[in-house]
Amino acid sequence: MSIQYQIKPQSPNAHIYEVVLRLSKPNSEGQCFSLPNWIPGSYMIRDFSKNIVEIQAFACGKKISLEKTGKNSWKTEPNLPELELRYSVYAWDLSVRAAHLDAQHGFFNGTSVFIEAIGFEAEPIQLEIIPPDGEAYKNWKLASSLIPSDVDSLGFGHYLAVNYDELLDHPVEMGEFERVSFEACGVPHDIVLTGRFDADLDRICADLKTICEYHIHFFGLPAPVEKYVFLVMVVGNGYGGLEHRASTSLLVSRKNLPAKGVSGINDDYLDFLGLCSHEYFHTWNVKRIKPAAFVPYKLESEVYTQLLWAFEGITSYYDDLALVRCGLIDEKRYLKLLGKTITRVYRGAGRLKQSVGDSSFDAWSKFYKQDENAPNAIVSYYAKGSLIALCLDAEMRVRSNNEVGLDDLMRRLWTDWKKTQKGLEEREIEEIVSELVGISLHDFFDLAIRSTKDLPLEAALEHFGTDTFWRAAKTATDLGGEANEEVQKPATGMRWKAHAKGIELTHVLDGGAAQLGGLSAGDLVIAVDSYAIDPAGLELYLSRTCAGQTLTVAFFRHDELHSVEIALQEAEKDTCYLIASPKGESAFSSWLSSKNPS
């Protein structure tokens, strides 16, 4: 093979991987190289090249010059018969997006460690992964969805990738992890768990099998993968995931895993199942069906698309919907989850300023770089995107007399992808929806994707036999989703977190009492009406106040003490809960128990 990579955890305590890239026929005009600046699925420039510590080039055993041509690019001299690039990568980022290495375990994404040889991106690649030296690492194993060609019993050795794009899309975990396995529709699935935990792994296998089989049947057999791996990093406090073509990397908290001997699904475990369901659905929706702008991924700089509502929003709609449809949770529990999502969207005034299409387009500089003003300025293409998917599902059913719905759209997109493997143009989904329904839905898309008007949400839910109710938040930690006794607690228009000296304001909402009174995010509030406060004390104090009442707030901004008066406002009814309507029983059950085609 004309291109080979070799990677080894060289120095776990220093967090250093050593990588060797060998080229048998480099470009005679001088070989160019570059490292990605972002990782697919996480739309932010991350400049992975900042972690390349040392880099050297060799030809026929002799060191040669290597010119730096950009922050992440290099070029050799011309006319080299062969070429070897040797470099070290610092890996100390415990996230799903980059690379990590210490004496406990190693994890890497190809985007962090494999420099691209320009001009060779379509060539097949051989990859050798070598275990770290030393007795301490003799029990390390390797887990990945890479295709092995010659590996030992622990998983170290040689792997193959059909091209550079594939090389980047199989993250690798190594260490003394736990591995459990199950089959879904005949396809082997591994769950690889790293970190300290005590959990019922049999239960996780059984529940993930149910979810994976639901999704495979949803899109239709056969599954698009020959093997699938859930790489799970278990930590004290964390939550997130990143999708890949035949695996996913997850970072979860210990509490997200089910305890042994406990039945039922608590909210923490439900979050884990929802995350797994989400990433697995991406195996079809974004890893294969994807925006044309991502074909191929251009990892040098930002790639713009308005379509993330379809890839993250529709995926977010189906991640929880699959849990009720496959019987892991009941309808009431699903409505609670949906009520929380609706609450999250409707509590942000940013939804009235930024369209979902713009949120997607500007993900690089806004959604992925959220600051204290985010609730006032931006909308999530995940959360609002999932409500668009819900409304689109209802619109399609209403306008087609229940002939087609969103399930049919997803299956059509999948069938099309299998035929052409082409990406979707920016308005192509809208055309396909109109074609499936038989009439144009452009008015719906103009409103949902390109405007900042609220969605026809209550009508959509009514179509699905569900009544929507709104109430005021009961406490600062009230996330919605459930009915709650009506409490006329006034609104402060601020969000906060605990601080050793009081509370620190994290967000100040547009037009709210705090903003009108002169408070800002970052202010450290130490007293209200001359009483020292902490989060619990403030909640208690507020529960005894009413709208119109004025509070004197003492706070530090930077290191200067200030005092302002804020006039409490009537609490907005921005907290949603949903109840199945007795009238809409058949629509409700056809929505939530939609069976997959056999």
Distance CA 433, CA 444 (A): 11
Q: DSSP per residue over 306-327, as a string?
A: STHIIIIIHHHHHHHHHHHHTT
**Region label for 119, one of left (φ > 0), alpha (ψ between -120 and 50) or beta (otherwise):** left
Stretch that binds Zn ion, among 296-304, 309-317, 446-454, 468-476 (CB under 5 A): 309-317
Closest CA to 316 of 347, 350, 344, 294: 344
Distance CA 320, CA 340 (A): 12
CA 531 to chain centre: 42
CB of 277 to Zn ion, least distance (A): 11
CB of 35 to Zn ion, least distance (A): 24
C-beta of 241 vs 405, nearer to Zn ion: 241
Q: Which residue is nearest to Zn ion (CB)?
A: 312
C-beta of 169 vs 312, nearer to Zn ion: 312
C-beta of 51 vs 359, nearer to Zn ion: 359
Give the CA distances from residue 556 to residues 321, 411, 501, 514, 564, in Å, rounded to whole numbers and listed in that order: 46, 56, 10, 14, 11
C-beta of 312 vs 430, nearer to Zn ion: 312
Residue 559 is given by DSSP the state T
C-beta of 51 vs 316, nearer to Zn ion: 316
Stretch that binds Zn ion, among 84-92, 132-140, 161-169, 304-312 (CB under 5 A): 304-312
CB of 311 to Zn ion, least distance (A): 7
C-beta of 145 vs 285, nearer to Zn ion: 285
CB of 26 to Zn ion, least distance (A): 38
CB of 282 to Zn ion, least distance (A): 6
Distance CA 594, CA 598 (A): 12
Helix ranges restricted to H, 193-252: 201-219
C-beta of 19 vs 96, nearer to Zn ion: 96
C-beta of 276 vs 437, nearer to Zn ion: 276
CB of 312 to Zn ion, least distance (A): 5
Contact map string, positions 340 to 379, toward Zn ion, x by CB under 5 A: ----------------------------------------
Distance CA 394, CA 398 (A): 6
Contacts of 595 (CB under 8 A, 6+ apart): none
Closest CA to 568 of 491, 468, 488: 491
Supply 116's token pair: 């691209």
Stretch that binds Zn ion, among 206-214, 305-313, 417-425, 501-509 (CB under 5 A): 305-313
Give the CA distances from residue 116 to residues 8, 22, 243, in Å, rounded to whole numbers and listed in that order: 18, 11, 21
Start-to-end C-alpha separation, the chain? 43
C-beta of 312 vs 320, nearer to Zn ion: 312
Supply 216's token pair: 């495979």
CB of 380 to Zn ion, least distance (A): 12
Supply 490's token pair: 């006034």
CB of 41 to Zn ion, least distance (A): 7
C-beta of 316 vs 466, nearer to Zn ion: 316
CB of 315 to Zn ion, least distance (A): 5
Distance CA 180, CA 220 (A): 26
- With contacts defined by CB under 5 A, how many residues of the chain interact with Zn ion? 1
User: Count of CB atoms within 10 A of residue 356's CB?
Assistant: 28
C-beta of 289 vs 519, nearer to Zn ion: 289
Stretch that binds Zn ion, among 307-315, 388-396, 402-410, 435-443 (CB under 5 A): 307-315
CB of 241 to Zn ion, least distance (A): 7
Closest CA to 190 of 141, 122, 123: 141
Helix ranges restricted to H, 66-200: 110-113, 164-168
CB of 243 to Zn ion, least distance (A): 6
Residue 458, exposed/middle/buried by CB under 10 A (0-12, 13-18, 19+)? middle
Stretch that binds Zn ion, among 50-58, 102-110, 308-316, 405-413 (CB under 5 A): 308-316
Distance CA 70, CA 67 (A): 9
CB of 261 to Zn ion, least distance (A): 32
Residues 310-329 that bind Zn ion (CB under 5 A): 312
C-beta of 382 vs 555, nearer to Zn ion: 382
Supply 346's token pair: 């409707």
Contact 114, 39 (CB under 8 A): no
Distance CA 567, CA 570 (A): 10
Contact map string, positions 256 to 295, toward Zn ion, x by CB under 5 A: ----------------------------------------
CB of 247 to Zn ion, least distance (A): 14
C-beta of 248 vs 575, nearer to Zn ion: 248
Residues in the site for Zn ion, rule: CB under 5 A? 312
